[in-house]
Amino acid sequence: MKLTIKNISKNYGKKQALKGVSFEMENGVYGLLGPNGAGKSTLIRILVGVMGASGGEVFMNGINRKSCDREYRRALGYLPQSLDFYPEFSGLDYLRFVAVLKGLKEDDAEKKIKTLVERVGLANDLHRKCINYSGGMKRRLGIAQALLNDPEILILDEPTAGLDPHERIRFRNLVSIFSRDRTVLLSTHIVSDIDSIAKKTIMIKGGKVGRMESTQSFVDAIAGKVWNVKMTVDELVSYQDSHIISNVLPIGDRMEVRVVSDEKPSLNAISVPPTLEDAYLHEFQFEGGISK
Ligand SMILES: Nc1ncnc2c1ncn2[C@@H]1O[C@H](COP(=O)(O)OP(=O)(O)OP(=O)(O)O)[C@@H](O)[C@H]1O
């Protein structure tokens, strides 16, 4: 399955939310990473067809999606940022309801629901009202509904928002397993969501795709630009206004400060191996109040 996004733009009145976004995806997880307001949700809404683009095209296996709308919708699974549940619905009612909306035959739906709830770890909670599920269970129910029609393309919009670390890791592992033979686009501003599972990371800012590379390439590109510097708390106060700081660790009466900097930031700085989080900070150094 190949999905090609070509020159997509979107205007909300005078606000240009997407400015000619282009990239291509095949099997595997693709992380769509960008700060608040970068245009991630707008792009996703256009890809899943709940909103029209102002310009540009989407192609599925080389065919314009406008010419294969039915097949495209059939191939698509979508987990939106928030899911609403009818108060009386159990998890099972909800999945049956979505199965009807997706046009699944009753027998197929029951088999599919049984397999999926086991895979997402909800088999013992199916008869409970889903509004009483924990955040993690709701997300797992969300991924089960997105997978009911066996989609080849799975689109997840900030799927781990509000989850505790245990549920976050569980969700990430699920996505990784499901991505073996699917194309997954996972939008997030949480670097650890995609750090270990995305084969490519798409960095988006100001409505433009800055770079799309293998996740490891982003990390490799800033090798030699991440440093540990020991300093006092007073020194840190003035230091943090002029440097990108990715971590601070108190050691005795001093601070070990992790700094992302093209140049060696001070004489006693020691070069350390970079992470994707460092690469994100380097890429978005002018977003989120970091000035340099
Ligand atoms: N309905 C709308 N009307 C006007 N402007 C909008 C609308 N929806 C989004 N925007 C603007 O478009 C830009 C992109 O918004 P979008 O929600 O796509 O970003 P995002 O990357 O998903 O952000 P977040 O991570 O905060 O969800 C922002 O500047 C936002 O304020």
Query: Which residue's CA lies nearest to atom 5 of ligand 1?
Result: 12
Q: Which domain holds residue 184?
A: 3-220
What number is the average pLDDT over the span 120-143? 91
| Cα 191 to Cα 119: distance, rounded to the nearest angstrom | 25
Report the atom number in ligand 1 closest to the C-alpha of 43: 18
Of 259, 261, 272, nearest to 225 by C-alpha is: 261
Model confidence at 287, in pLDDT bands (50, 70, 90)? Answer: low
Q: Tell whether 122 and 240 lie within a shared domain.
A: no
Report the atom number in ligand 1 closest to the C-alpha of 39: 18
What number is the average pLDDT over the span 184-193? 88
Check which CATH number belongs to the domain holding 110 and give it.
3.40.50.300
Q: Tell whether 121 and 260 lie within a shared domain.
A: no
Q: Which two tokens stand for residue 152?
A: 């080849």
Span from the CA of 41 to the centroid of ligand 1 (angstroms): 7
Residue 279 belongs to some domain of the structure = no
What number is the average pLDDT over the span 43-69? 94
Q: Tell whether 14 and 116 lie within a shared domain.
A: yes
Of 209, 182, 210, 208, nearest to 197 by C-alpha is: 182
Query: Which residue's CA lies nearest to atom 31 of ligand 1?
Result: 37
Q: Tell whether 120 and 200 lie within a shared domain.
A: yes
* Residue with more model confidence, 258 or 213: 258
Q: Tell whether 140 and 239 lie within a shared domain.
A: no
Q: Which two tokens stand for residue 212?
A: 């799309």
Residue 289 belongs to some domain of the structure = no
Model confidence at 238, in pLDDT bands (50, 70, 90)? Answer: confident
Residue 284 belongs to some domain of the structure = no
Which of 198, 220, 242 represents a domain boundary (last residue)? Answer: 220
| Cα 204 to Cα 40: distance, rounded to the nearest angstrom | 7
Residue 123 belongs to some domain of the structure = yes
What number is the average pLDDT over the span 254-277? 93
Say if residues 91 and 148 touch (Cβ distance below 8 Å): no
Residue 280 belongs to some domain of the structure = no
| Cα 207 to Cα 39: distance, rounded to the nearest angstrom | 5
* Protein residues with CB under 6 Å of any ligand 1 atom: 12, 15, 17, 34, 36-42, 189
Q: Tell whether 260 and 157 lie within a shared domain.
A: no
Residue 208 belongs to some domain of the structure = yes
pLDDT at 91: 96
| Tally of domains in the chain | 2
Highest mean pLDDT among 145-159, 182-196, 277-291: 145-159
Query: Which residue's CA lies nearest to atom 3 of ligand 1?
Result: 12
pLDDT at 53: 97
Q: How far is residue 230 CA from its own chain's centroid?
A: 34
Residue 242 belongs to some domain of the structure = yes
Q: Tell whether 181 and 255 lie within a shared domain.
A: no
Q: What is the mean pLDDT of the chain?
A: 90
Span from the CA of 43 to the centroid of ligand 1 (angstroms): 10
